[in-house]
Amino acid sequence: MRAVFLAFAVVVSLVPLWPVYQDPGFFVALAGGAILGALIALLSARGSWSVLRTVLTAVVAYLVFGVPLAVPGEAFLGFLPSLQGELSLITGVVLSWKQLVTVMPPVGSYEALLVPVLLLSMVGTLFTVVLSLRLSRTKAHAGFAALVPVVTLSVAIWLGPSRSFASVLVTVGVFVLIALWFVSSRVGVARTGFRALGILVLSAVVASAVVLVTPIADRTVWRTEIDQPFVLQDDTSPLSEYRSYVTGDNKNRDLISVTGLSAGQRVSIATLDNYTGVLYSVGGVAADFTKLPGSIPTTAKNGDEVSAQITISGLTGAWVPLTGELGSFSFTGAGSRALTDAFYYSRPAGTGAVTSGLSEGDSYRTTGLAAPEVSISSISDLKPGDAIVPAPAVMPNGLDAFVSLSSKGKTTAGERLNATLTALTDQGYISHGGPDEVPSASGHGANRVAALFAASPMVGDAEQYAAAASLIATQIGFPSRVVMGFIAPEGTDATTAVTFTGAEMTAWIEISTTEGWVAVNPNPGERPIPEEQPQDPTEVAFPQTAVEPPAQDEPQLNDSSAPEVADEEQPSEVDPVLQAILAVVNALGWTLLWLGLLASPFLGVIVAKRRRRHARLSAADPRERVEGAWNEVRDALLDHGTAATASMTRQELAELSSLSAATGVAVLADTAQYSADPLSEAEVIRAWSEADGVVREMGANLTRWQKFTAKISVKSFGLSWARFTAWLPKRR
Amino acid sequence: MSMKPEQAAGFQKVFDKLVGNVEQVLLGKNRTVRLAFTAMLSGGHLLLEDYPGTGKTSLARAMAQSVQGSHSRIQFTPDLLPGDITGVSIFDQKKGAFEFHKGPIFSNIVLADEINRASPKTQSALLEVMEEHHVTVDGVTHPTGEPFMVIATQNPIEQAGTYRLPEAQLDRFLMKASLGYPDHASTRLILENSGKTKKVELEGVVPAEMIVKLIELAKSVHVDPGITDYVTNIVEATRFAPEVRLGASVRGALSLVSASRVYAASLGRHFVIPDDVKALADSVLSHRLVLDPEAEFDGVTANNVVGKILIDLPVGAPAA
């Protein structure tokens, strides 16, 4: 039953995966897999199962229990396997590994990404327990069982995040458990066991020292090395590039050409639903970019189906302009095969991306269901929907006050949003901050939006107004997101191609209502901008919002990283020699601590034995003291590996030991217990003297390893694992 | 009043004297001889079961000769009648009354040779005398002498013309022992001496009265409650063993304790330890068990059952 230590070691070794999941389902899969693996291993060992039978049982258990443990989202009634769940479970054996390292953490219990945890836990426990139970303890290869937790630890680290998580604790925990497994083995194990334990301890100490001394830095793991199918960080927010399209050279540059649009219909480049305080991104649905078959069913409740042929001109990059929630999609022309392979789509975001990036001349046909547009005046009748979008990380200063002032007296969410957006469009003026325009900073971070609200008059462009409007809608209770793209101008005919230039790039918002997603244009109309009003602090100082933006979120995209540089630690002035000494002392201290931790179970056993001896020696009754002397002899015999049973008498056990002095102590103890005669103090002294002589004689011809294992053996405490497994069927 | 250590030493001396005397004619059978005298000094009877020619009768005769008392031998045959053992009442014409003529059972040591050849009726004639040490004929009770011990022998091989001893009869025997064939050296010695000397007649080394005193003295050997608990556990285990249909009786438990007392004293010890109980449990209990026919068919013997109990049952005290 000592294999329990190894089973725990496997469980502990998988803890480094926690930052990848950060979901309770992780522990369910971890514990469930370990229990399944251990049970199958026990049954296999007790029943002397063949490898085939053991593997088949493991496969059946995986299929039966795998769905609720690793694919809980597909489980029927939350705990019963379903067909879809089984399919995910089976394909997950092969596909989930790469998916796990290509999806941005935390992945939670998304799709079948818990399958690796379940498999590692179940298979690791199964292997380690089976090997521990079925390999002969006295053979050198018995140590193979201890390699399994080391392997699972390595795999967990490689599958885990680039930043280490509880590395020292986990490493120490795994090696301590393995050490306990070694210690709980039978006394008198071959010297190979000692050597293996020594190597293990040494490697653990070195590993811990390296972990402690080496500066914490991002490490190379599979996640960092694998070719990511779509790295969002590289294209976090096309909205942050908005100003570059509407000003400068791109202003008049043809970006895309679309055939099939009618006037007012839209082409979206990206749908942005995650506000970080710095920018709007598609981070909220980051894990949802998947490859697509030729067509997929749409889920929108309403909207116009728009079928269009789109040709890329100047709008190169990852983002793929679409006409709404995707219904069908196919690249046309040369390179379509490669582009199709590189195309990913996020259904929740309604956003497409090509990992290789679009280039001029690429074209495709798409059909989409566009969200219907509602005017600001029509919002009053709408009610908030139940779409899920990430909550903004921070609300800009002044937004709450602006909403309060603008929607004073309004009761319903629709009316409040109507009033606030009306105020935004009424008070706002458009300026891209070009050479001949009123100054207007780019960006849509919390500071920029706060500045928009604080300014009089408010000056900005679609980037700021869409971001502000989306945050306003969110504040009022409408799930909201920003969409960047183009709107077909008046006079556009579906039969002819319309070409969009950079100047026509715009942004709007989509809000979730009971009718589904609807598009709202929050941008003010183009009109002359009045002179800036003198600031009166008493009037413009809006109350602060409840949520203060974190300091690190303040810098805008265009800001330099000067504050970070300023915050960096100044180079150390400490003497390098002193630094080296401190490092050595630090490593030495941790190593000693580690060794102390490792040795603590052994020291505990030795201390417990000393206390036991003292209690026996100081018993009040001379009979008990003499019996205690024999008990010392008996415990020493047990700890030295004598195969004693409870049915053996003292003299039988003494004869078994082949130590004549032991028989003398046994006779004295029998006399003490079974005769009615009182015992003299001299007899007590003789008993203990002979007992100590017996114990010394026992250790006389032993190796150091045998003496050590006898000292730390717990058999004399009655902690025989056989007692705990007596209820199990006997091994054949 | 418990036995004193010096009394135990005296007991051991006499015991060894008896054993040594018998060993003059029975070579290499120290344990069986000790068991036989243990039975005698426990006030019990001994059943010797073994193959022909192993020395059963020699042992019985040697024991009888070692004790300076009367001894008799009864050869059991199918036509033996109860009266042939206990004695009969014959009408004395001179006195005009029935007069009781004592049978061979009225001796200190009675050798019942091949006891299983007699009919159950005749075997049953021994029941009263073995337990009560007296015979009742025509309503008159005739006590046997003291000490009184029946040493019965039987052949385990022959089936034809034999009657298996009833359980009640078996229970009357304190222990069952077997001699087995002598070892190589002993056999050789026996052969070398076979033509040189006449039949050895042992001298009695202990008077019968001394045996009676030793029996009484053995009863004073101290038995700790831990020992009685251990014996109780063993006896109960025989009753719950799956291979056993009928376990050991209370008489069996009493026999084990009294035999253990003698065994301890024979080793010069004035108190009983678990080793004494373990040494005697098989001899005292095995013949009292009735095995399940299915287990018996599978080759399980009563000795196996008792042996397994002794291996499985923890010694009550923290001995191991």
Q: Do A653 and B313 touch (CB under 8 A)?
A: no
Q: Amino acid identity of A296?
A: I
Reply yes or no on whether the pLDDT at A726 is more than 60: no
Interval A587-592 mean pLDDT: 79
The C-alpha of B141 sits at a distance from chain A's nearest C-alpha, in angstroms, of 41
Q: Do B319 and A675 touch (CB under 8 A)?
A: no
Reply yes or no on whether the pLDDT at A575 is more than 80: no
Q: Do A647 and B273 touch (CB under 8 A)?
A: no
Residue A555 banded pLDDT, cuts 50, 70, 90: very low
Interval A299-325 mean pLDDT: 82
The C-alpha of B315 sits at a distance from chain A's nearest C-alpha, in angstroms, of 5
Reply yes or no on whether the pLDDT at B157 is more than 70: no
Q: Which residue of B has its CA nearest to A635?
A: B320
Looking only at the bridges linking them, the beta strands covering B244-246 and B71-75 are unpaired
Q: How do the domains of chain B map onto residue ranges?
A: 1-196, 221-313
Kindly state whether residue A730 falls inside one of the protein's structural domains. no
Q: Which residue of B has its CA nearest to A650?
A: B319
Distance CA B95, CA A22 (A): 116
Residue A30 banded pLDDT, cuts 50, 70, 90: very high
Judging contacts by C-beta atoms under 8 Å, the chain B residues touching residue A726 are none
> Percentage of chain A with pLDDT > 90?
17
3-state DSSP call for residue A483?
strand
Are A197 and A158 within one domain?
yes
Residue B139: how many CB atoms within 10 A of its CB? 5
Residue B236 banded pLDDT, cuts 50, 70, 90: very high
Q: Give the residue with greater pLDDT, A500 vs A346.
A: A500
Given a contact cutoff of 8 angstroms between Cβ atoms, the answer to whether B318 and A647 are in contact is no
CB-nearest to A647 from B226, B315, B318 is B315
Residue of A147, A146, A89 whose CA lies nearest to A118: A89
Reply yes or no on whether the pLDDT at B277 is more than 90: yes
Q: Give the residue with greater pLDDT, B241 vs B128.
A: B241
Q: What are B76's two structure tokens?
A: 């059991």
Q: Do B313 and A671 touch (CB under 8 A)?
A: no
Interval A168-193 mean pLDDT: 68
Are A290 and A396 within one domain?
no
DSSP A436: T
Residue A226 banded pLDDT, cuts 50, 70, 90: low
Q: According to the model, what pLDDT value does residue B153 have?
A: 86
Listed range (A477-491, A592-606, B285-299) with the worst mean pLDDT? A592-606
**Residues B32-41 pLDDT 10s:** 899 999 999 9
Are A297 and A428 within one domain?
no
> Percentage of chain B with pLDDT > 90?
29
* Mean pLDDT, rounded, of chain B: 85
Residue A300 banded pLDDT, cuts 50, 70, 90: low
Residue A100 banded pLDDT, cuts 50, 70, 90: confident
Kindly state whether residue A656 falls inside one of the protein's structural domains. yes
For the whole model, what pTM was predicted? 0.50
Residue A296 banded pLDDT, cuts 50, 70, 90: low
Kindly state whether residue A574 falls inside one of the protein's structural domains. no
Are A62 and A166 within one domain?
yes
Residue with tokens 């990059």: A317
What is the fold, at CATH topology level, of the domain defined by B221-313?
A: Helicase, Ruva Protein; domain 3 (1.10.8)
Are A167 and A265 within one domain?
no
Q: In Å, what is the CA distance from A422 to each residue of A230, A294, A525, A685? A: 38, 42, 12, 102
Residue A440 banded pLDDT, cuts 50, 70, 90: confident
Domain ends where: A209, A225, A241? A225
Domain ends where: A324, A349, A370? A370
Domain ends where: A172, A207, A225? A225
The C-alpha of B151 sits at a distance from chain A's nearest C-alpha, in angstroms, of 32
Q: According to the model, what pLDDT value does residue B305 have?
A: 92
Q: What are A208's two structure tokens?
A: 């811990």
Given a contact cutoff of 8 angstroms between Cβ atoms, the answer to whether A280 and A482 are in contact is yes
Locate all alpha helices (DSSP H) within A618-725, ordered by sequence: 622-639, 650-657, 660-674, 681-700, 704-712, 721-724
Is there a common fold for B1-196 and B221-313?
A: no
Are A335 and A440 within one domain?
no
Residue B186: how many CB atoms within 10 A of its CB? 14
Reply yes or no on whether the pLDDT at B199 is more than 90: no
Reply yes or no on whether the pLDDT at A571 is more than 50: no
CB-nearest to B275 from A631, A645, A649 is A649
Q: Give the residue with greater pLDDT, A431 vs A294.
A: A431
Judging contacts by C-beta atoms under 8 Å, the chain B residues touching residue A675 are 222, 224, 270-271
Reply yes or no on whether the pLDDT at B257 is more than 90: yes
Q: According to the model, what pLDDT value does residue A591 have?
A: 78
Measured in residues, chain B has a length of: 320
Reply yes or no on whether the pLDDT at A557 is more than 50: no
Are A395 and A532 within one domain?
yes
Q: Do A634 and B320 touch (CB under 8 A)?
A: yes
Judging contacts by C-beta atoms under 8 Å, the chain B residues touching residue A673 are 224, 226, 317
The C-alpha of B311 sits at a distance from chain A's nearest C-alpha, in angstroms, of 6
Kindly state whether residue A462 falls inside one of the protein's structural domains. yes
**Residues B70-99 pLDDT 10s:** 888 888 888 888 888 888 888 888 888 888
Are A387 and A524 within one domain?
yes
Residue of B69, B251, B36, B48 whose CA lies nearest to B147: B69
Given a contact cutoff of 8 angstroms between Cβ atoms, the answer to whether A311 and A254 are in contact is no
Residue A140 banded pLDDT, cuts 50, 70, 90: low
Interval B148-173 mean pLDDT: 80
**Residues A615-641 pLDDT 10s:** 898 888 888 899 999 999 989 988 888
Q: Give the residue with greater pLDDT, A126 vs A697.
A: A126
Interval B196-218 mean pLDDT: 82
* Domain boundaries, position A266: 253-370
Given a contact cutoff of 8 angstroms between Cβ atoms, the answer to whether B293 and B276 are in contact is no
Q: What are B147's two structure tokens?
A: 């000490």
Are A21 and A163 within one domain?
yes
CATH 3.30.70.890: does it fit domain B1-196? Answer: no
Interval A247-267 mean pLDDT: 88
Element at B134 (helix H, strand E): strand B134-137
User: Would you tell me which residues 641-670 of chain A have a C-beta closer than 8 angstroms to some C-beta of chain B?
Assistant: 644-653, 670
Distance CA A245, CA A243 (A): 5
Kindly state whether residue A699 falls inside one of the protein's structural domains. yes
- Residue A680 sits at the chain B interface (C-beta within 8 Å): no
Q: Do B222 and A675 touch (CB under 8 A)?
A: yes
Q: Which residue of B has its CA nearest to A651?
A: B275
DSSP string computed for B33-75: HHHHHHHHHTT-EEEEE--TTSSHHHHHHHHHHHEES-EEEEE
> Percentage of chain A with pLDDT > 70?
80
Q: What's A415's domain CATH number?
A: 3.10.620
Number of domains within chain A: 4
CB-nearest to A651 from B2, B5, B275 is B275
* Mean pLDDT, rounded, of chain A: 80
Are A458 and A342 within one domain?
no
Q: According to the model, what pLDDT value does residue B38 have?
A: 93
Q: What are A216's two structure tokens?
A: 């914490």
Q: According to the model, what pLDDT value does residue B124 have?
A: 81
- Give burial (CB, 10 Å; 0-12/13-18/19+) of A347: middle
Q: According to the model, what pLDDT value does residue A553 have?
A: 40
Interval B53-64 mean pLDDT: 81
Measured in residues, chain A has a length of: 732
Q: Do A652 and B311 touch (CB under 8 A)?
A: no
Reply yes or no on whether the pLDDT at A727 is more than 90: no
Residue A113: how many CB atoms within 10 A of its CB? 28
Q: Please write down the long-range contacts of A683-691, taking CB distance under 8 Å and 24 or more positions apart.
A: A683/A622, A683/A626, A684/A622, A684/A625, A684/A626, A684/A629, A687/A625, A687/A626, A687/A629, A687/A630, A688/A617, A688/A625, A688/A629, A688/A632, A690/A629, A690/A661, A690/A664, A690/A665, A691/A629, A691/A630, A691/A632, A691/A633, A691/A665
CB-nearest to A649 from B5, B312, B319 is B319
Reply yes or no on whether the pLDDT at A563 is more than 50: no
